[in-house]
């Protein structure tokens, strides 16, 4: 049987690297778009990276950029993928306040460029997955969010993804393209970018443990998220494109923890109990270290956002029925996986 061909944008990122592994396992020929950078940016793909001169490759990388229609269009026209997973994005919410125009160009117009390319190459059988996000929600009135919850974006990132969500739906309804939105809640892993809060915490606690760093400087300790594991979630990205019909679907754990609880759980992993004192910007976290109190967490204004999405928790109206929705990783398993990796790599 002919191999299915998948194209992943954002293949060098957290999700892209896990999805590439999953699709290779499922016997796909995987193409990925990478950006030119001044140093290697394929670190997360190390174990599946293949020599460009090798024959019968399972993974083929192409230079391209979502801000450059000609690059995207020529790759799509050449490889004619059966499935496109659009994971590329300027994905950092806080950074989107500093680079709003760029964020919009990549996340919003980038998505449109891919859809236009599908249309212009007449690839109407190509399935398209859009990496939508729980950042689309944000109204505190709705304690749990599902596919019917009204959107209320709170950042340039969220708003750029709102456009991408709707344009995906528009092209599905207008041209019959199999185009689906996976509305994924936060998902993390050892491969998470170092400036997202979970990885920042697991890395810092590990480094403090080995006396390589003194403090973890943090922003909003009370913010709550519904954190899953990226390994679990890429499976659903694939599954969404295997449905009979295109759809928009929430993927989440329906459990919620605060940034503070995440820090406490990581400390527990290395045998520390953290004690909090002070308020607001003066709040600190202390541990008992060799018989003395030692401050290891400080709050910094630098990490507060101009607008904050205080709490997220998702529960799909579809998943139980449609996906036999089962997650391998609990919150504790996620912390364990990330802490074990960071303790090993920061020793």
Q: List residues near ligand NAP by CB under 6 A.
A: 9-10, 12-16, 33, 35, 37, 41, 65-67, 87-91, 106, 131, 133, 184, 186-187, 193
List residues with catalytic annotation: 133, 135, 157
Which of the stretches 34-42, 215-223, 283-291, 330-338 binds ligand GDD when contact is defined by CB under 6 A?
Answer: 215-223
Quick check: 57 and 50 in contact, CB under 8 A? yes
Q: Which residue is nearest to ligand NAP (CB)?
A: 13
Q: Which is nearer to ligand GDD, 65 or 188 (CB)?
A: 188
- Compute the radius of gyration of the chain from its Cα atoms: 21
Q: Which is nearer to ligand NAP, 82 or 86 (CB)?
A: 86
Contacts of 46 (CB under 8 A, 6+ apart): none
Q: Which is nearer to ligand GDD, 291 or 306 (CB)?
A: 306
- In the region spanning residues 272 to 311, those forming contacts with ligand GDD, defined by CB under 6 A, are 303, 305, 308
Q: Which is nearer to ligand NAP, 40 or 210 (CB)?
A: 40
Q: Which is nearer to ligand NAP, 162 or 287 (CB)?
A: 162
Out of 220, 243, 254, 261, point to the residue binding ligand GDD (CB under 6 A): 220
**Contact flag: residue 197 with ligand GDD (CB under 6 A):** yes
Closest CA to 58 of 80, 32, 84: 32
- From the CB of residue 8, how many other CB atoms can be counted at a distance below 10 Å? 29
Q: How far is the CB of 123 from ligand GDD (least distance, A)?
A: 27
- In the region spanning residues 59 to 98, those forming contacts with ligand GDD, defined by CB under 6 A, are 91, 93-94
Closest CA to 66 of 93, 18, 29, 105: 105
**Contact flag: residue 195 with ligand GDD (CB under 6 A):** yes
The site for ligand GDD, by CB under 6 A, has a size of: 22
Binder of residue 296, out of ligand GDD, ligand NAP, none (CB less than 5 to 8 A by kind): none
**Contact flag: residue 142 with ligand GDD (CB under 6 A):** no
Which of the stretches 27-35, 71-79, 216-224, 243-251 binds ligand GDD when contact is defined by CB under 6 A?
Answer: 216-224
Q: How far is the CB of 195 from ligand GDD (least distance, A)?
A: 6
Binder of residue 218, out of ligand GDD, ligand NAP, none (CB less than 5 to 8 A by kind): ligand GDD
Binder of residue 66, out of ligand GDD, ligand NAP, none (CB less than 5 to 8 A by kind): ligand NAP
Q: Which is nearer to ligand NAP, 82 or 91 (CB)?
A: 91
Measured distance CA(231)–CA(175) in Å, rounded:
32
**Contact flag: residue 258 with ligand GDD (CB under 6 A):** no
Residues that bind ligand GDD (CB under 6 A): 91, 93-94, 133-135, 185-186, 195-197, 200, 218-220, 223, 225, 259, 303, 305, 308, 312
């Amino acid at each position: 049987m002919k191999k299915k061909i998948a194209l992943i944008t954002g293949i060098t990122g957290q999700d892209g690297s896990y999805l590439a592994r999953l699709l290779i396992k499922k016997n796909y020929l995987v193409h990925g778009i990478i950006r030119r950078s001044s140093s290697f940016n394929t670190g997360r793909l190390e174990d599946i990276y293949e020599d460009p001169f090798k024959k019968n490759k399972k993974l083929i990388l192409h230079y391209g950029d979502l801000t450059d229609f000609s690059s995207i269009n020529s790759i799509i026209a050449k490889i004619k993928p059966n499935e496109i997973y659009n994971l590329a994005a300027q994905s950092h919410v806080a950074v989107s306040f500093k680079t709003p125009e760029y964020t919009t160009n990549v996340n919003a117009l980038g998505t449109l460029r891919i859809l236009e390319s599908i249309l212009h190459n007449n690839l109407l059988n190509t399935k398209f997955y859009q990496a939508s996000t729980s950042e689309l929600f944000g109204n505190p009135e709705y304690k749990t969010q599902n596919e019917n919850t009204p959107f209320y974006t709170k950042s340039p990132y969220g708003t750029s993804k709102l456009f991408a969500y709707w344009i995906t739906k528009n092209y599905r309804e207008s041209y019959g393209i199999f185009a689906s939105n996976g509305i994924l809640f936060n998902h993390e892993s050892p491969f998470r970018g170092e400036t997202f809060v979970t990885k920042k915490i697991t890395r810092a606690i590990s480094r403090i443990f080995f006396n390589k760093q003194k403090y973890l400087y943090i922003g909003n300790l009370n913010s709550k998220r519904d954190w899953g594991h990226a390994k679990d979630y890429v499976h659903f990205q694939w599954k969404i494109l295997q449905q009979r019909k295109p759809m928009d679907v929430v993927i989440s754990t329906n459990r919620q923890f605060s940034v503070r609880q995440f820090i406490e759980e990581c400390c527990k992993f290395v045998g520390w109990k953290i004690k909090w004192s002070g308020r607001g910007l003066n709040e600190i976290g202390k541990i008992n270290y060799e018989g003395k109190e030692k401050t290891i967490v400080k709050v910094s204004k630098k990490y507060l956002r101009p607008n904050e999405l205080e709490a997220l928790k998702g529960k799909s109206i579809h998943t139980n029925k449609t996906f036999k929705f089962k997650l391998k990783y609990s919150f504790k398993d996620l912390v364990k996986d990330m802490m074990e990796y960071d303790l090993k790599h920061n020793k």
